[in-house]
Structures are given as C-alpha cells and as structure tokens.
Structure 1
Amino acid sequence: MKLSQEQVKQFDDQGYMFFPECFSAEEIALMSIEADNILKMDRPEVWREKSGAPRTGFAAHTFNEVFRLLAHHPRLVEPLQQVFGEPVYVHQFKLNAKAAFTGDVWQWHQDYGTWARDDGMPEPRAMNIAVYLDEVHPFNGALMLVPKSHKHGTLEAGHDLSTTSYPLWTLDESTVTRLCREAEEDGKPGIVAPVGKPGSVLMFHGNLVHGSAPNITPYPRKIIYLTLCAVSNHITKFTRPEFIAHRDFTPIQPVDDGALLEHARAHRVAAE
C-alpha cells in the first residue's frame, strides 16, 4: 500500500493518518479469535489491569503465526518504508484491550518519550500503527490525539509508576492544556478521536501526544499496536524485557497481501 502525496502531507501537518476498514471482515475475524486466546493466557507477555482484566499482550508476532503475518503485512509495512525512506523492523507489538466496564486509562503521553528514555532510540523515526479489532466508538475508550503536537519535539515527562499496572512517561496537565489550545481550529477542541469499524487502521507519529479514557461501557475495545522503526534508528539500550522492546533489527520482508486470508482458509479447510 502506497501513500498519496495528500496523505503524506496530512501526516506531516497533523501527525496521523486514518484508513477506514483497511482489513476485511474475514481477516479481522481471524485476528480477533487469536487475540482473545492470547489475552487469556498466563504468560509474562500478558499484562493485566489491577482488576485482573487483560490490559496488554506483548510480542504475539513471535509465537503466533497470524500475528507474524500481520507484522509483515504490506498494508502496514510499505507506508512506513515510504515515510522513512528505508527498511523497517518491529520495535514493539501489543494487543491492547479495554475490557467492558473495567478497561483502565492510558495517560497523556508521547510514545517516543518512552522509546528514547527507556530504549535509547536515537530519533523519532518509528511509528505506531493501530489496527481496530472491535468497533471503536467515542464512548468505549477511543484513542484521543492532539493534532500537530508532534511538531513540539520530545516534551518533558514524569515517570508514572502508580496510576495503572503499566509504567508510562506521562505529560502534566498544563502541557496537555497548552497543546490542545494551540490545536484548536474554528472553535473546535484541539483533540480528535478517530472512531471506526473493525479493520480500520490508524498510523501516528512517535511524538504525537495521545491518551485514552477508561471504558465504563459494556462494549469492549481491542486494538493491535504495531510499532515499526527505521532499521538505521534501532534502539541502543536494553533495559526493558526483549518481549517489550525487541532487539532483532532484521529488516521486514513483506508477505503477500492475501497472506492472512490464505491462512484463514487453509486452517478452516484443515479443521473441516
């Protein structure tokens, strides 16, 4: 999948790109089944909320064939190769869940702030790609973005070790308020929350400020986050477990565009 000049311009200006229903219903059904199974597992890669509900499943692409195919999928890999002008590798792979009623907050933060401080990533030449497995509504913990905030560079942050089960470098209220005010246009708030059906894809800059509210609704929300980094920009510190910050900098070789469908159909036939 190649980006148009208009899409590249929007990314440079706003810090994000959104592609509604980028993956088919059959592809999403396959991934959703695998995600549910992984989030039930008792293994170090699966982190839970203080309530016990699943929060994040790391590195599924290293032990699950469906997610290995997704991490090598051309619809995700090729746009980032285009943006960075070079091959990319998988820095991080997460299954983020917001369980019905108990899904917890993700505080306001920049992803590159963590990659730089904890992993020694030289520059913000890495990007998050979010693949929606459930429908993301405005009310079930949608990801909130502050447009254009990536233009402010890497901001000062504090290391929050207590709010949730996952440590995070977070921004203070005055910084978030200032950035939101600067992003306001035509009387509209300086926050966007891209909502969409399963299969939609959101790509956003490593320095774009974002967060999400708790989910107090009966509608769960699962999103896959694939972080791809330019190979020449690989991390230099290894303070976090390898399943959180990967140390294999091998350039991704994209699979065929139909690889997920081929896998789904082959395994359906085998099961029958």
Structure 2
Amino acid sequence: MGEPTWAGVWPGQATDPYPTRQGGPSREIPRTGQVVFGKPEDGPLTEEELDAFDRDGFLVLPNALDQNEVTTLLTELRRLTRSGDDVGTDRMIEEPDGRSVKSIYQVQAVSEILRGLTEHSTFVDRARQILGSDVYLHQTRANVKPGFTGTDFFWHSDFETWHSEDGLPTMRALSVSVSLTDNYDFNGPLMVMPGSHKTFVTGMGETRPINWKRSLRDQDVGVPDHAILTELADRHGIRQFTGKAGDAVMFDCNIMHGSNANITPFARSNIFIVYNSMENTLQAPFGTQSQRPEYLGSRNFAPVGR
C-alpha cells in the first residue's frame, strides 16, 4: 500500500477528519454528521427513544430475550468455551494469564445458534432504524469475563480502533450488548459516559505491526489519557448497566465505555453484535498499513436479515 501521503491518510482516501495515535496528549475533535439517521415511522423505536439515543448514545432494551432463548445461548457459549474445537486459535482470545477465555470473535461463523442471535429482529430492526439503512455485521464477539480471573476493558471508543485499524469511515455503526448472565454492580458490568459519543477523543501511542495480537488481550494503544478521561467523566458522568440475563443495551460506536475486572465468583457473559450501515462500508485503514483479520473487521458486506 505504500507510505501514507500525510498523517492518517492513505492514497485514494480523503482527508481524515479523525486523526489519532499521533503522539502527545489526547484531544477532542467535534463529531461531524448525525447520530440517528432514521425516523419513528421507519421502525419500532419511538421518537422519544430515538431522541434519547441521539442525546445519550445508548438505549436499554429490558427483556430483549426470554429465558428459553437465554438458556439456549448460554449453553452454546459454554460449549464453545470449554472445547474450542469449533472456534479456532485465532478467534478465541485468552485472558493475559492464559488460564481462561476472555473473548470469542466472529461468533456467527462458529455457531448457528449464535448466528441466529445476530439476525434477531429485535436488534436488526432497531439498528436499521437508527442507522437509516440496511446493516451488515462488522464484528461479533462473546466477552466471557470469567469469575475471579476476568480482566478489565479500559476506557475506549470502539470507533477509534475501527477507524484506525479497520477503515471504518464514519460513525454510522452501533453495538448491541446482550446479557446471557446477570450483570451485577460488582462483576464488571458495562460502563459508559452518556453523551460522550458527540466528541471524538484521540488515542495515545502509535499502531504497532499486527497490533491486534496484543490489544485483544490488553489494550494500551489508542486509549485516551487519564487527564481527558477525568474531564469527560466530570462533564458526562458514568452510567453502569446492571440487569438480568436477557436484557440488552444498544450503544453508539463512539461512546466512551469500559468495564472493571471481575474478582467475584459470578461470570459476566455478554454477546456483542456490531451493526454497520451498508452506506458506511470499510475502506483502507486510516492509521496502519495492514488491516485486521476478517474475524475482527468484516469485509463481507452482506446485509443482515435480507
């Protein structure tokens, strides 16, 4: 692909509005473009719910799955975690201590049961409505966060990584976190800074070759510095998502989020489904010469549910 013509931009790309990982302290760049692209008549979400997603960057979906669905999905996830036979060494990421599974990526490729979850109309219809178009699966993963050994996920914006290392052009993507176990306030639930999705925060460090080999276990490149995280927390506050198995949260790709380690006996297992607009498909990465593997940033742009 050659050398970048200027920082963060490769030949054939327009100027990057979100340059990151260029040294110095983190800084804020105002978000360009809208958050919600659809209207109430386009789907199941009401005007109030769409306004809340635009304002806060997330939406809680209580009882998105019934108990039978949860049991089936959790049984399948435990099977994959125990055996690993259907997963492969690349898709299965271990905790830094190497003793337990941290995440499984591209779950729809290793399980028909989990594929069905990614096509669930509760999530697909709302994703289409918010993003204003058909959607495809940019990424899927199961975050297991086992009891006693589950490590933290430091504060970050998903868009920062997907833009830099996958080539996601704009912030027209969202995630759904589906709880397969109860999320307590003590076993490392998802935390977000409401409203932080309206600002892009540049990350520290420079992208090393095959950065994902390390970052999937312990991310240190692309995260914000402590000073700007303190400013964001003072400005926006922190919302922690607790609830029972079967609840779900939809959140914008640029919202600042993370989770604490789990030192309790109670695993926190969630499935994350990332829907990207069919009008926002991947380009060449904006911050590295080598794009991440297909199981991390898919270039199969087949629409979901069509």
Q: How does 1:46-195 map to 2 (within 5 A)?
A: 46-51=92-97, 52-152=99-199, 154-159=200-205, 165-167=217-219, 169-183=222-236, 190-195=237-242
Following the alignment from structure 1 to structure 2, what is the Cα–Cα distance between the partners of residues 123 and 163? Answer: 22
State TM-score, norm by structure 1: 0.87
The one-letter amino acid of 1:218's match is P
2:274 is paired with a residue whose SS is strand
RMSD (Å), alpha carbons: 1.6
Aligned to 1:10: 52
Aligned AA (2:230): T
Give the aligned partner of residue 248 of structure 1: 300
1:145, 1:63 → 2: CA distance? Answer: 29
**1:50–1:164: 8 Å Cα contact kept in structure 2?**
no
Secondary structure of 2:151 counterpart: coil
Structure 2 CA distance, aligned partners of 1:32 and 1:49? 20
SS at match of 1:30: helix
Structure 2 length as normaliser, TM-score?
0.77
CA distance in 2, matches of 1:164, 1:3: 33
Identity of aligned residues (%): 30
Greater shift, 236-245 or 11-20, is seen at 236-245
Deviation at 1:166, TM superposition (A): 4.2
Take 1:97 and 1:36, find their aligned partners in 2: how far apart are those partners? 9
State the one-letter code of the partner of 1:252.
V
- Deviation >4 Å, runs of 4+: 159-164
Q: CA deviation at 1:158?
A: 2.0
Flag the structure with higher helix content. 1
| Contact in 1 for aligned 2:162/2:168 (Cα 8 Å) | yes
Contact kept, 8 Å, 2:128 with 2:134, in 1: the verdict is: yes
Distance 1:171 1:165 in 2: 17
1:105/1:164 contact within 8 Å kept? no
Q: Which moved more, 1:157-166 or 1:93-102?
A: 157-166
User: Which residue of 1 is the match for residue 66 of structure 2?
Assistant: 24
1:247 to 1:163, Cα distance in 2 relative to 1, 3 A: closer
Q: Which runs of 5+ in 2 are unaligned?
A: 1-42, 285-289
Gaps of 5+ in 1: 184-189, 255-272
Letter in 2 for 1:209: M
| 3-state DSSP of counterpart to 1:232 | coil
Q: Distance in 1 between matches of 2:76 and 2:96?
A: 23
Superposition deviation, residue 252 in structure 1: 1.1
